[in-house]
Amino acid sequence: MASTQWISGDTHFGEAKAISLFERPFADVASMDGALLEAINRVVKKRDVLIHIGDFCGPFEEGRDTQVAHAVDIRNKILCKNIRLIWGNHDPKVAKFEALFESVKNQATFRRENGGERVVLCHYPLRAWRGQLSGSMHLYGHTHGALQEVGRSMDVGVDSWNYSPVRLSHALDVLAARPVTPPGGWVRRQDMRHDVAADLPT
């Protein structure tokens, strides 16, 4: 049976502050962790691939060791064997944490199977990304649904997808249906820098 690819992110497992900070509908951190785990295990099968766009766990006030220990506990409860992480700003860069994942990268890019468009993955939302003007797509997290999606870019964090992973092919189909548009606000630099040029010695 062919595996299915899923994408998610910004789970912040174990972080109690995430409930109020991101207005999540959970009574406490145990309820949040349980709901997020149940959502992953409900749809992502053992031989599927789960791409996590960053901020898997924490941060923890108790420190990095506690954060990593919680990450290990959570990872052991996820049935999917192949989880690929895109570094988030709260992910601890230590070997024990990295070992929980099939791969760990700052960014990743690949070609969409259906259509061949480039796909750019990054924890952070990019205003401009490789191939943007020729139809490439960008999947990101970090902003927890608070930033307006631009062109063929999409927030795939749990706060934008009912606290559940989304099928990667579905997310890309949604983006493929959007028109290819240049990012707003691009102007010619020389039209903005007359004040700087005026200060240069002649």
Supply the range of the domain harboring residue 162.
Answer: 5-198
CA distance 129 to 136: 8
Residues 6+ apart with CB under 8 A from 122: 53, 86, 106, 107, 129, 138, 139, 140
CA distance 71 to 57: 6
Encode pLDDT of 66-110 as tens digits: 999 999 999 999 999 999 999 999 999 999 999 999 999 999 999
In the chain, how many domains are there?
Answer: 1
CA distance 26 to 55: 18
The reported pTM is 0.89
Encode pLDDT of 128-180 as tens digits: 999 998 999 999 999 999 999 989 999 999 999 999 999 999 999 999 999 98
CATH of the domain at 96: 3.60.21.10
CA distance 88 to 68: 14
C-alpha to C-alpha distances, 155 to 82, 130, 143, nearest whole angstrom: 22, 17, 8
